[in-house]
Amino acid sequence: MAHPDTTYERQHPAFYAVIFTLVFMSVGPIALMFINSFKLDVDIISGTTGLLFLPTIQNYETALCDILPYELDHLDYCSLKFGGAFINSIIITLISTVLTLIIGCMAAYALVRFRFMGRDTVSGTTLMVRMVPPAVLLVPVFGLWNNEFCIGRETWVGEIIRDTFGGRGDVCLAGTHSGIILVYIAMNLPFVIWILQSFIVQVPRQLEEAARMDGAGSFQVFFKVVLPLIKPGLAAAAIFTFRIAWNEYLLASALSDRDTKTVPILIVNNMSEFNVEWGVIMATGMLLAIPPIIFTLFASRQIITGMTAGAVKG
Amino acid sequence: MSYSTINRLTPYIFLAPALVIMVIALLYPLGYMVFGSFRDWDPSQSIGETSFIGLGNYISLWNDPNFHESLIVTLKFAITVVFVEMIVGVGLALLLDRNLRGMSVLRTMFILPMMIAPVVVGLIWRYMYHPSIGIFNQTLEKIGLGSVDWLGQHALLSVIIADIWQWTPFIFILSLAALQSLPRSALEAARIDGASGWQQIIYIKIPLMMPVLIVTCLLRLIDAFKVLEVILVMTEGGPGLSTEILALRISRTATEFRELGVAAAMSNYLLMLLLILTIIMLAFNKLQEMKAERQRRAVEAEKG
């Protein structure tokens, strides 16, 4: 952190020009999407690149039309179904992030603080599965979630679920929120465990031992002493897990059905149509981009810490 | 149960949830995939009903020119992207490693592209590359240079540019962190001995950063093989097969052509490639650790 009375070096004007160009290049495209999301398709297509247009929130209204409380007069019917997808995205992301963090920090703690049989195997496997790409998981997960991880409709659990939610055939993981959440947790765990290990190592052992002397059990030590001390690590891990779950497209598209679609699926589906409605899609894209952008603006330090801790061996 | 049994069980209790989930949703599926890659597997069947065809899927892929094409595109994409990103990223880090007002704001701006969804990145670039309404062609037309067929003829290059935009900051942030944690004494000594800026970079900074740079490079390379959504949104693998990277081909084989067995075999080829890269990275890390340990011992021995 820069100290208040640190003197900053003065730089050559050309240096500032370079910096300005870099910022423009990295933020420009996002700003362009932001601006275009307030334009009507006519304005986008006619190519008024400048800022001379009449801003409108019509695109956002169209995107959110199925959860808006009022009728829209520029639409006959809602075709985008953004609202439902938005809610699905929130449910899936929040639940999977919270669970990943809880499960992940417990596992990281066990790996750092205990010597036990199989420890090296577990930590080695965790390291290796970090490189498995979602595209590779797609094939088996698609098969398993659709055909194997099912509850037969004749069994009593299956019957209850069928009676409550309707539908026909067996009850399978595919097409449910839990199915997607399960994959996301598994996908994020290795990374979270790896990052948190490097934070837990730094917790002074004496603190834990002092707590233990005072009669605290292992779980109390973990929840009352260790967890509060690794808050920065937890924040970093939370942001990364959130980002992956919120942004993920491939597995969600293979595992969701009409009712459990997430926002990225909606965007891809609407991009592959012949007539792309640019304004509405950019508004949708903007809504999808806002949470990560907010995180970046308010927690960039945690993100950078997380990135360096994740890359450099912890 | 005695106190000591509970004590011995504690680590397993802490680990259990993570293990259960990783086994159910990661390891078991991976094993299932290896098993399925030897079968004539269709998504509508349960895997027990499929017939065993030995190495059939692997052999047919080995002889499939489209698969070769896709492999070559993947390698071209990954290697170019990592090469350019390393040079630009490290270069920027060396340039911006100064005591600068507003450095943290700058870093925040730079990490924005990699935080937003790949799908959205694809959407933005597809718009900017659009033949008539895209900003690139409009600007080119205005200067009078004529338009470029970005996502047609030059699709692979365009996709590469988008990835460089998104991921160069990653290299930049990591190399900047490495630069700022270099031992000040070495840099001071060089400066006192009269080393010029370039000499400091080439003889002191880069050699000292090397371990971090190699790990960063390997991490990025592994990630470059995973890229999928950006390309899917921008080109859908086309035109032809010109941007159909392996990950995209796997997902299309599985969901569009419904040939799970073939897709599984393809996934295994990709996994093997990534496994090799990961092993190199881990071995390198281990080596560095051993080296550091040896140095520490040497220093201690000298003191003692």
Q: Where are the domains of chain A?
A: 86-311
Residue B169 touches partner A, C-beta closer than 8 Å: yes
The answer to whether B165 contacts A25, with C-beta atoms less than 8 Å apart, is yes
Q: What is the mean pLDDT of residues A113-118?
A: 83
Residue from the list A9, A116, A289 with its beta carbon closest to the beta carbon of B98: A9
What contacts B35, CB < 8 A, 6 or more positions away? B47
The answer to whether A132 contacts B30, with C-beta atoms less than 8 Å apart, is yes
Instruction: Look at residue B174 and tell me if it is in a domain.
Output: yes
The answer to whether B260 contacts A189, with C-beta atoms less than 8 Å apart, is no
Does residue A249 contact residue A132 with C-beta atoms inside 8 Å?
no
The answer to whether B119 contacts A249, with C-beta atoms less than 8 Å apart, is yes
Instruction: Look at residue B3 and tell me if it is in a domain.
Output: no
Residue from the list A111, A143, A247 with its beta carbon closest to the beta carbon of B47: A143
Least confident of A15-29, B144-158, B256-270: B144-158
The answer to whether A311 contacts B215, with C-beta atoms less than 8 Å apart, is yes
What contacts A13, CB < 8 A, 6 or more positions away? none
What's the total number of domains in chain B? 1
The total of other beta-carbon atoms located within 10 Å of residue B203's CB is 12
Enumerate residues 17 to 56 of chain B having a beta carbon within 8 A of any beta carbon in chain A: 17-19, 21-22, 24-30, 32-33, 36, 41, 43, 45-47
> Given pLDDT bands bounded at 50, 70 and 90, which one contains residue B124?
very high
Q: Tell me how far apart the alpha carbons of residues B226 and B163 are, in angstroms, rounded to a whole number.
A: 12
The total of other beta-carbon atoms located within 10 Å of residue B94's CB is 17
Residue B271 touches partner A, C-beta closer than 8 Å: yes
Instruction: Look at residue B33 and tell me if it is in a domain.
Output: no
The answer to whether B251 contacts A103, with C-beta atoms less than 8 Å apart, is no
Q: Tell me how far apart the alpha carbons of residues A128 and B87 are, in angstroms, rounded to a whole number.
A: 28
The CATH code of the domain that includes B147 is 1.10.3720.10
For B182, the 3-state DSSP assignment is coil
CB contacts of A279 in chain B (<8 Å) are none
> Can you tell me the ipTM of this complex?
0.86
CB contacts of B33 in chain A (<8 Å) are 136, 139-140
**Residue A274 pLDDT exceeds 60:** yes
Q: B183-222: per-residue pLDDT in tens?
A: 888 888 888 888 888 888 888 888 888 888 888 888 899 8
Q: A75-110: per-residue pLDDT in tens?
A: 766 666 677 888 889 999 999 999 999 999 999 998
The answer to whether B108 contacts A297, with C-beta atoms less than 8 Å apart, is yes
The total of other beta-carbon atoms located within 10 Å of residue A146's CB is 20
CB contacts of B274 in chain A (<8 Å) are 131-133
What contacts B134, CB < 8 A, 6 or more positions away? B127, B128, B150
Q: B54-94: per-residue pLDDT in tens?
A: 888 898 888 889 999 999 999 999 999 999 999 999 999 98
Instruction: Look at residue B11 and tell me if it is in a domain.
Output: no
Per DSSP (E only), the strands in chain A are 150-151, 171-172
Beta bridge partners of A150: A172
Beta bridge partners of B16: none
Range of the domain at B278: 66-303
Q: Tell me how far apart the alpha carbons of residues B270 and B265 are, in angstroms, rounded to a whole number.
A: 9
For B51, the 3-state DSSP assignment is strand
Q: Tell me how far apart the alpha carbons of residues B24 and B19 are, in angstroms, rounded to a whole number.
A: 8
Mutation choice for A interface testing from B109, B164, B172 by most A CBs within 10 A: B109
Q: Which CATH number fits domain A86-311: 1.10.10.60, 1.10.3720.10, 3.40.50.11540, 3.40.50.1220?
A: 1.10.3720.10
Compare A175 and B121 and report the one with higher pLDDT: B121
Q: Tell me how far apart the alpha carbons of residues A107 and A192 are, in angstroms, rounded to a whole number.
A: 10
Residue from the list A7, A116, A186 with its beta carbon closest to the beta carbon of B26: A186
Closest CA to A281 of A55, A60, A76: A60
Closest CA to A232 of A302, A285, A169, A286: A302
Q: Tell me how far apart the alpha carbons of residues B167 and B223 are, in angstroms, rounded to a whole number.
A: 10
Q: A237-248: per-residue pLDDT in tens?
A: 999 899 999 999
Q: Tell me how far apart the alpha carbons of residues A134 and B301 are, in angstroms, rounded to a whole number.
A: 48
Pairing of β B51-52 and β B39-40: antiparallel
Residue B262 touches partner A, C-beta closer than 8 Å: no
> What is the biggest distance separating any 2 CA atoms in chain A, rounded to whole angstroms?
77
What contacts B235, CB < 8 A, 6 or more positions away? B151, B155, B158, B159, B242, B243
CA dihedral over B243, B30, A266, A190, signed as positive or negative: negative
Residue from the list B21, B100, B124 with its beta carbon closest to the beta carbon of A185: B21
The tokens describing A95, both together, are: 């639940």
Does residue A136 contact residue B250 with C-beta atoms inside 8 Å?
yes
Compare B246 and B237 and report the one with higher pLDDT: B246
Q: A182-219: per-residue pLDDT in tens?
A: 999 999 999 899 888 888 888 888 888 888 888 888 88
**Residue A6 pLDDT exceeds 60:** no
Instruction: Look at residue B36 and tell me if it is in a domain.
Output: no
The answer to whether A107 contacts B18, with C-beta atoms less than 8 Å apart, is yes
What contacts A99, CB < 8 A, 6 or more positions away? A181, A185
Orientation angle between helical segments A177-200 and A82-113, nearest 10 degrees? 40
Which residue does chain A place closest to B127, by CA atoms?
Answer: A278
Q: A138-188: per-residue pLDDT in tens?
A: 888 888 887 777 776 667 676 676 666 655 566 777 778 888 999 999 999
